[in-house]
Amino acid sequence: MSTYTGTGILTRQALRRDRLIAPIWIVLLALFVYVSAAAVPALYKTTAERVQAAQAINSNPAIVALYGPILDVHSIGELAMTKATVLYAIFVAILMVILVRRHTRVEEESGRLELIAGTAVGRNAPMFSAIVEGAVVSLVLGLLAALGAIGGALPTAGSLAFGATWVGIGLVSTGLALVSCQLAASARTCAAIAAGAIAVLFVVRAIGDISAQWLSWLSPFGWNTRFRAWSEPRWWMLALYLGSFVLLVAVAQLLRSRRDLGSGMVAARPGRATGSPRLGDAISLAVRVNQGAIGVWSFAFAALGIIFGAIAPGVSNLLDSPDAEQIIARLGGPGAMADTLITAVLSLVAIIVVCFAISVIAHSGGDEADGRTEEVLATATSRSRWFAATTLVAFGGVLWLLLVAGFFLWIGVGAAGAPAGSHTGRIVPAALVYTPAAWLVIAVAAALFALRRSWAVIGWILPALCLVISLVGELLDLPDWFVRISPYAHVPQLPAAAMNWTPLLVMTGIALVVTAFGWWRFARRDIG
């Protein structure tokens, strides 16, 4: 029996378990590519307009930091795929992390892998099946993305090359996730390591794209732009993706062979023999259980804030071409551009931050599935307190993280020197102003969890839904009411725009009502 025996059946089982999540992500991402491609003719009527738009993007370091540069300003494909090339490749990477982790470390942590290891399955088969699944999903996703671009009337050759870059990102992320899942015994920590690695690669590319070009060659996200999918594809670059994939897989296998089942690379340290007096109720327990995640998220948002804050004021300094100056003047001067960037970053942060809250709620769902909730509710802890603890950490955590993001953006801007005419003094309020919208989304997720334990995971769809609504609405120029389904559409665009309290108070009110419904419902449903 080879050490790979059983890979086939394990892969089929893995694909079966992913029959919902993988297709939904793939279809949504491919749809996004199609919509982006199809929207271009309506957005830009002439070639001149397209070139101007591409130049405007290139002349704004902030946007370049987010989306990467447009190397060929005449290419329709590159302009259409501005967001898809780099920024949305993150979602490809996240999907791979979710899938790979689910079939490796999560299985190991739950003890199911032990059950499988006891059957006639080779030692390397479980990991190999995750690799196969990662490769299959990457290929399908890349192919459908290419078809989406072709369907949106973009050149066929360029579309295929673009699809290939997404396959490449998928493969590298699969390898990255595999390595991450070898490092820690906790599946949650492994996810944090993988997410951190993706964030670092993205930021390295962002810095590279606006200053030191060579840095972008160190990140697979940078390769996506430099592949030049839409002009003269550098097909040899596929070797970079494949090489990294093979290397990461080899590292993961080496790490796996050097550790025991169920352990990480670092030996677990002994904990306290007695509990702290402060750890004695549902709230302190919820904080304790989520404090690692709060720390990681706070650090990530602080770093993100500093970097983009430091970039924002630099817009005007980096411009010397008369064309670009003209564009900037039309957009309202350097100050207004800094404001625009800050609004853009914050609107993304405000959606991403909801993921933290969803993870808190999903974690509570996991507690219930495993039986920990049962143990807590068998003590003098009431259901109300348990539900309140979960929602308070979710709501409070989001408020805290928005504050961190806003504060460090402000610090970054301050360090770089705020440009004249900007409203950068209002960055912290500009971040906090997203709180009611984020709370409303979280309240809906909490209510879903309160209705049924297994619905806690549906919450993960909500932030993606908000994103899709705003993007699709914008690209297809859909009627206003469609975009306004998303709570984020009602948030005043500080710092430049004026404050408007009405939508904030209304959304806070709705969030409270929805949470109260969840609380009422949770006190009345079966636990377990």
Partner 1 sequence: MERPIAAIGDVTHQAIPDLHKCVKSANVSDVTTEHVIDVRGLVKNFGRFRALDGLDLSVTAGEVHGFLGPNGAGKSTTIRVLLGLLRTDGGSARVFGLDPWREAVPIHRRLAYVPGDVAIWPNLSGGETIDLLIRMRDGDPKSSRREELIERFDLDPTKKGRAYSKGNRQKVALVAAFATEPDLLVLDEPTSGLDPLMEQVFNECLGEHKARGATVLLSSHILSEVERLADRVTIIRAGQAVESGTLESLRRLRRSKITAVVDGQVPDLMADGVHDLDVDGQKITCTVDPDALPIVLTSLTAAGIQSLTSAPPSLEELFLDAYRQDATTPELVDEARR
Interaction site with partner 1 (CB under 8 A): 109, 185-186, 262, 268, 270-277, 279-282, 285, 288-289, 292, 370-372, 374-383, 524-528
Alpha carbon dihedral 449, 451, 453, 459, in 10-degree steps, equals -30
Say how many C-beta atoms besides its own lie within 10 A of residue 345's C-beta: 25
Phi and psi at 231, nearest 5°, equal -115, -85
Concatenated DSSP letters of 57-94: HHH-HHHHHHH---S-TT-HHHHHTHHHHTTTHHHHHH
Residue 102 or residue 383: which is nearer to partner 1 going by CB? Answer: 383
Q: How far is the CB of 284 from partner 1 (least distance, A)?
A: 9
Q: How far is the CB of 522 from partner 1 (least distance, A)?
A: 12
Residue matched to tokens 């025996």: 5
Phi and psi at 443, nearest 5°, equal -60, -40
Residue 51 or residue 283: which is nearer to partner 1 going by CB? Answer: 283
The CA angle 370-374-375, to the nearest 5 degrees, is 100
Q: How far is the CB of 270 from partner 1 (least distance, A)?
A: 4
Q: How far is the CB of 272 from partner 1 (least distance, A)?
A: 5
Side chain identity, residue 136: V
Helices (H), 417-500: 427-432, 435-451, 461-475, 480-483
Phi and psi at 186, nearest 5°, equal -95, 130
Helices (H), 111-237: 112-117, 125-151, 156-183, 187-210, 213-216, 220-226
Nearest to 460 by CA among 373, 351, 372, 383: 351
Q: How far is the CB of 374 from partner 1 (least distance, A)?
A: 6
Residue 111 or residue 417: which is nearer to partner 1 going by CB? Answer: 111
Residue 268 or residue 329: which is nearer to partner 1 going by CB? Answer: 268
Q: How far is the CB of 384 from partner 1 (least distance, A)?
A: 10
Residue 1 or residue 380: which is nearer to partner 1 going by CB? Answer: 380
Residue 213 or residue 382: which is nearer to partner 1 going by CB? Answer: 382
> For residues 352 and 349, what is the distance between their CA atoms, to the nearest angstrom?
5
Residue 17 or residue 385: which is nearer to partner 1 going by CB? Answer: 385
Q: How far is the CB of 112 from partner 1 (least distance, A)?
A: 14
Q: How far is the CB of 456 from partner 1 (least distance, A)?
A: 16
Nearest to 306 by CA among 463, 196, 427, 430: 427
Rg of the chain over all Cα atoms, to the nearest angstrom: 24
Residue 11 or residue 104: which is nearer to partner 1 going by CB? Answer: 104
Residue 293 or residue 351: which is nearer to partner 1 going by CB? Answer: 293
**Alpha-carbon distances, residue 54 vs 39, 90, 150, 246, 316 (angstroms):** 15, 22, 21, 35, 17
Q: How far is the CB of 380 from partner 1 (least distance, A)?
A: 5
Asked if residue 87 lies in contact with residue 169, where contact means CB atoms within 8 angstroms, the answer is: no
Q: How far is the CB of 378 from partner 1 (least distance, A)?
A: 4
Q: How far is the CB of 96 from partner 1 (least distance, A)?
A: 24
Asked if residue 34 lies in contact with residue 146, where contact means CB atoms within 8 angstroms, the answer is: no
Residue 46 or residue 379: which is nearer to partner 1 going by CB? Answer: 379
In three-state secondary structure terms, 6 is coil
Residue 46 or residue 276: which is nearer to partner 1 going by CB? Answer: 276
Structure tokens at 472: 């699709």
Q: How far is the CB of 223 from partner 1 (least distance, A)?
A: 37
Residue 323 or residue 375: which is nearer to partner 1 going by CB? Answer: 375
Using a CB cutoff of 8 Å and minimum separation of 24, what contacts does 361-364 make? 361/390, 361/391, 361/394, 361/442, 361/445, 361/446, 361/449, 361/456, 361/459, 362/456, 362/457, 362/459, 362/460, 363/289, 363/290, 364/286, 364/390, 364/449, 364/456
The CA angle 15-17-21, to the nearest 5 degrees, is 85
First-to-last alpha carbon distance for the chain, in angstroms, is 41
